[in-house]
Chains A and B, each alone.
Chain A
Amino acid sequence: MKRTFAITLILALLLALAGTPLSADGHERWDGADDLAVNPLACGMGDEMMDEGEDMEEDMEMMEYDGGMVAMGDDMAGMDITLVDVPKLVGIGYFAATTLGQQQAAEELGNVSVTTDAPTEANIDDQIQVIDSYITAGVDGILFAANDPVAIAPVLRKALEAGIHVVGYDANSEPDAREWFVNQAEFNGIAKALVDSLADQMGAEASFGIVTSTFTTPNQARWIAEMWAYASECYPDLTWLETLEAQEDAVLSFQQAQTLINKYGEDLDGIFAMTSVATPNGADAVQQAGVCEDVAVVGLATPNGMKPYVNSGCVRDVILWNPVDLGYAAVYVMRAVVDGEFQPGDASVSAGRLGDLVVVNGSEVLLGPPFTFTADNINDFDF
């Protein structure tokens, strides 16, 4: 009996140990932000951002190309090429949109064929195995969106060594494991757009919570880190209540938003939703709780999922880039690399209907500034 009691006590202690860090609130910076250096943009709205953006580009041009080098293979310039696209996972609207953009680019170019294949769950090991199989099968180029920047690197290096061109989009790997990365929007730009929108809607002394995917997902972690940096510089009176994980799961996202609403009640002025799943479900939770006026949902999402909430007036701003353009640009960059038209040291690359895209951070191609969908324009988009 005594022994049973002692063991129960140990388990309780273990549980407490496991629970403590998870329940710690924002002030301890338990926020999913990673340790990498942050680069917050200057405070303020609108025009200033553009100026700042240009300044940054000047800084970035100083950086040398830090991408990888592909082993010499056959010269495929102008010839038909077969690409495989390995996003984080298949079966969600966001990557369906990037796939659509890739198919549009392939059709325009006429000499590219792209197949999309990825695991049905965002799992690092499954993604590695899929890429490895395509290296063995033999393709001319790999497009990827990494589930983990470091874990994916060895298999991408193997592709480069095998003479396969590698271009990333959406989620980066270590720079030397791929040639170029199409950056949909810089982290600090997204962070600024999100925080500005909330402060504009609910005031500079608002309190907010965050619903993210998982604390380890690289994009979300970087955005949150930049939001932290930007908010503490420009809106020091914003109160960071709590960050909750919701995977990329619809039901869980809804529940986590509900948790924030119920737990903080009147104190909660806003919810940042960091994924295209969390934003519509967070908005749904707010709408069902009837607190649209008191809680502003600001998040990243694709327009189709957000139309009901934006059109009903429950959500004002949806921040994102255009994922169709992102996939489109990735294929154009790949084609230019294969043709030898886009080489290390170049300052820009031509990407069909998107015009010239600038190179930033050494080996990244910037898609452009983030885009805000509002009631005025959201119905013009269909993805």
Chain B
Amino acid sequence: MKSKTSPPRNPTLGEKLHHLLISQEGVLFVIMLVSVLFLATRTDKFLTVDNLLQQGRFMTEVGLIAIPMTYIIITGGIDLSVGSILGLTAIVLGWTWQELGFPLELAIITGILSGTIAGFVNGLFIVRVGVPPLIMTLATLALYRGLAEGISEARSARGYPEWFFQLGQGEFLGIPTQLWLLIIAVVIFGIILARTRLGRALYAIGNNETGARFSGLTVNRYLLFIYTFSGFMSGVAGYIFVSRVSTTRSDMGTGIELDVIAAVVLGGTSIFGGTGSIPGTIVGVVLIQLLKNGLTLSGVTSDATIVVIGSVLIFAILVNNFIQSRRSEN
């Protein structure tokens, strides 16, 4: 047989690796590795299985909400109300169980459902009334928090039965229960974004919404879906949070929206829409959590830690911008 050189030559492994390494996610992953190695030299308590799994437990809520946030930011939108939805879900869960006497299983479903509805209302106004996402979710950031305080009358619901804590405090096959949930969600929604029509539609909307509309995409339906999805995931995160800390308070999840958005943007999603990926987001979530933990373990106090995290965020974005612009010049 004569060997022929096929014109569209498959890239060699080396080229693939090089391509992967200078991608947004690749650069970030390298920064994460460097940080982890550096922190591991500072303290031997950091790079242990127990500690890393515990950090997985702590980052699950932010990670779960970061998935729909990536979807939303890819379309050029934003959702600031996720922390308030988390709080509302927690309060509805505790209130329906303790005050209305729902069975706990039903209270969990009602809680998550109310989070989903809260997200749906966001989406409805953004799509039907045309309120910009920033304004709408800024309004519901206050509105949902107010609802949570109003419903709870500032009282906490406590004293859940033992099985309720399995999700937030238990383990399954040696790994924190909620981390399984995060891993499954990341795989499923990562594939959906990268490989399906829905995913491609989101990128199209983010790159050119008008163009997407004229191309026959049902833009409104997609947008309504992702904001509802965001409410749903915030609701699930709320349930996990209550299970982890064993009480409900109306101030739960305050400020979590900023942690989530920081992780998503750090993960390479453009705030103007059109680019981004779930693997990038997850590397962002993990990097922030490990920095927080590793710095505390090596004796840096919390106030200095947030300064370092802010600096790393800026540094990572600068490095990535530099490499990506070099890459597009080539």
Contacts and interface: CB of A to CB of B under 8 A. Distances in A.
A124 B306 contact: no
A130 B292 CA distance: 9
A18 B121 CA distance: 15
Nearest to A153: B246
B124 interface: yes
Contacts of A20: 150
B308 to A, nearest CB: 13
Contacts of A128: 245
Interface stretch (A132-140, A187-195, A198-206, A370-378): A132-140
Contacts of B100: none
B158 A137 contact: no
Interface in B296-311: 296-297, 299, 301-303, 306
Given A137-B45, A216-B250, A117 B155 contact: no
B252 A129 contact: no
A20 B151 CA distance: 10
A214 B154 contact: yes
Given A7-B125, A11-B125, A216-B251, A221 B245 contact: no
Interface in A308-329: none
Interface centre among B154, B169, B247, B249 (most CB of A within 10 A): B154
Interface in B238-264: 241, 245-247, 249-252, 254-255
B12 to A, nearest CB: 43
Contacts of B156: 34, 148, 150, 216
Give the interface SS of chain B, mostly helix, strand, loop or mixed: helix
A30 B152 CA distance: 11
B147 A148 contact: no
B279 to A, nearest CB: 25
A14 B245 contact: no
Given A22-B149, A136-B51, A7 B124 contact: yes
Interface string B280-318: 000000000000110011010111001000000000000
A40 interface: no
A17 interface: yes
A32 B154 contact: yes
A90 to B, nearest CB: 6
Contact of B129 (A4, A17, A117, A215): A4
Given A18-B147, A18-B150, A7 B45 contact: no
B306 A7 contact: no
B128 interface: yes
Nearest to A131: B296
B210 interface: no
Contacts of A130: 296, 302
A262 interface: no
Nearest to A90: B303
B217 interface: no
B128 to A, nearest CB: 6
B246 A151 contact: yes
A366 B89 CA distance: 38
Interface string A109-143: 00000011111110111101110111011100000
A34 B45 contact: no
A4 B149 contact: no
Nearest to B303: A120
Interface string A165-205: 00000000000000000000000000000000000000000
Interface in A200-258: 214-216, 221
Given A21-B150, A91-B303, A154-B169, A132 B45 contact: no
A263 interface: no
Interface centre among A30, A32, A129 (most CB of B within 10 A): A129
B190 interface: no
B155 A150 contact: no
A124 B61 CA distance: 14
A117 B149 contact: no
A3 interface: yes
A35 interface: yes
B302 A90 contact: yes
B144 to A, nearest CB: 8
Nearest to B139: A11
B45 A138 contact: yes
B95 to A, nearest CB: 12
B146 A18 contact: yes
A14 B143 contact: yes
| Interchain residue pairs A-B with the least CB separation, the first 7 | A215-B154, A150-B247, A151-B245, A21-B150, A133-B296, A18-B146, A117-B301
14 contacts: A7-B125, A10-B121, A30-B153, A34-B155, A90-B303, A115-B301, A120-B303, A124-B251, A129-B296, A130-B302, A137-B297, A150-B158, A151-B246, A216-B251
Given A7-B125, A125-B241, A150-B156, 10 more contacts: A4-B128, A11-B121, A20-B150, A21-B149, A120-B306, A129-B296, A133-B296, A137-B296, A154-B245, A216-B250
Interface of A: 3-4, 7-8, 10-11, 14-15, 17-22, 30, 32, 34-35, 90-91, 115-121, 123-126, 128-130, 132-134, 136-138, 148, 150-151, 153-154, 214-216, 221
